[in-house]
Chain A
Amino acid sequence: MDQTTLVARLEAVVGPTGVFHRPADLLVYEYDGSVDGAVDTARPAAVVLPTSAEQVAAVVRIANEAELPVVARGAGTGLSGGAVAQRGGIIVSLSRMDRILDVDRDDRTALVEPGVINLELSEHTLPGGHFFAPDPSSQKACTIGGNVAENAGGPHCLKYGVTTNHVLGLEVVLPDGRIVWLGGRAAHTPGYDLTAALVGSEGMLGIVTKALVRLTPAPEATLVLLAAFGDIDGASQAVSSVIAAGVLPAALEMMDALTIQAVEPAYHAGYPLDAGAVLLIELDGATDEVRETGEEVAALCAAAGATAVRAATAKAERDLLWKGRKMALAAMGRLAPNYYLHDTVVPRSKLPITLRRVGEVAREFDIPIANVFHAGDGNLHPLMLFDRRERGAVERVLAASNELLHFCVSPEIGGALSGEHGIGTEKRDHITLVYTADDLAAMAGVKNAFDPRLTFNPEKLFPKGYMCGEVRALRAQALAQKHGIYAF
Chain B
Amino acid sequence: MAVAVEADLVQIGGLRGYGGDDQPDPDLLRACVHCGMCLPSCPTYRLTGQEMSSPRGRLWMMKAVGDGRLDLLDPAFDEQMYQCLNCRACEAVCPSGVHYGPLVEAARQQLETHRPRPLPQRVARRVGIAWLFRDARRMRAAVAALRFYQRSGLAAVVRRAGIPRRLGLADLEAMMPPVSRRALVPGEERWVPAHPERSVALFNTCMMGTVFADTNRAAARVLAHNGSAVDVPVGQQCCGALAVHAGMMDEARDLARTNIDAFEASGDDHVVVTAAGCGAALKEYGHLLKDDPAYAGRAERFSARVRDVSEELGAVGGGLVPPTRPVRRRVTYQEPCHLAHAQRITIQPRMLLAAIPGLELVEMRESSLCCGSAGIYNLIRRAMADELGDRKAGNALATGAETVVTANPGCAMQLRTSIRRAGGGADVRHVVDLLDEAYGGEAAGRAGSWACDRARTKSDAVPAAAD
Q: Which chain A residues have a beta carbon within 8 Å of chain B's beta carbons?
A: 20, 22-25, 27-29, 31-33, 35-36, 47, 49, 75-77, 93, 95-96, 98, 115, 117, 120, 138, 140-142, 266, 327-334, 337-339
Contact = CB atoms under 8 A, between A and B. Distances in A.
Given A20-B50, A27-B70, A329 B95 contact: yes
Nearest to B98: A333
Interface of B: 30-40, 49-52, 54, 56-57, 60-61, 64, 69-70, 74-77, 93-98
Contact of B69 (A27, A32, A95, A338): A27
Contacts of B36: 32-33, 75-77, 138, 141-142
Q: Do most interface residues of chain A lie in helix, strand or loop, or is the interface mixed?
A: loop
Contact of B35 (A33, A49, A96): A33
B33 A141 contact: no
A332 B37 contact: no
Contacts of A327: 37, 95
Contact of A334 (B60, B61, B64, B96): B96
Contacts of A32: 34, 36
A77 B37 contact: yes
A333 B31 contact: yes
A-B pairs with the 6 shortest C-beta distances? A333-B96, A330-B95, A24-B76, A95-B49, A28-B57, A77-B36
A29 B51 contact: yes
B205 to A, nearest CB: 31
B37 A337 contact: no
A115 B51 CA distance: 13
B36 to A, nearest CB: 4
Q: Which among B34, B35, B61 has the greatest number of chain A C-beta atoms within 10 A? A: B35
A93 B53 CA distance: 14
B34 A31 contact: yes
B52 A330 contact: no
A78 to B, nearest CB: 9
A75 B42 CA distance: 13
Contacts of A35: 33
B61 A24 contact: yes
Contacts of B37: 77, 138, 140-141, 327, 330
Q: Do most interface residues of chain B lie in helix, strand or loop, or is the interface mixed?
A: loop
Nearest to A327: B95
Contacts of A22: 76
Nearest to B93: A140
Given A25-B76, A138-B37, A334-B31, 19 more contacts: A22-B76, A24-B52, A27-B60, A28-B54, A32-B36, A33-B34, A35-B33, A49-B49, A76-B36, A93-B51, A95-B49, A115-B49, A120-B40, A138-B36, A141-B37, A330-B35, A331-B96, A332-B33, A332-B96
A190 to B, nearest CB: 38
Nearest to A98: B49
Q: Which among A28, A77, A93, A333 has the greatest number of chain B C-beta atoms within 10 A? A: A28
9 contacts: A24-B52, A24-B77, A27-B61, A75-B36, A77-B35, A142-B36, A329-B35, A332-B33, A337-B30
B369 to A, nearest CB: 13
B196 to A, nearest CB: 34
B70 A330 contact: no
Contacts of B38: 141
Q: Which among B32, B37, B95 has the greatest number of chain A C-beta atoms within 10 A? A: B95
A266 B70 contact: no
Given A77-B35, A138-B36, A24 B70 contact: yes
Nearest to B30: A337
A144 B72 CA distance: 36
Given A27-B61, A93-B51, A333-B32, A140 B96 contact: no
Given A76-B36, A330-B35, A27 B97 contact: no
Given A32-B36, A327-B37, A266 B97 contact: yes
B296 to A, nearest CB: 25
A76 B52 CA distance: 12
A150 to B, nearest CB: 14
A36 B35 CA distance: 11
Contacts of B34: 31-33
A339 B33 CA distance: 9
Contacts of A27: 60-61, 64, 69-70
Contacts of B51: 28-29, 47, 76, 93
Contacts of A93: 49-51
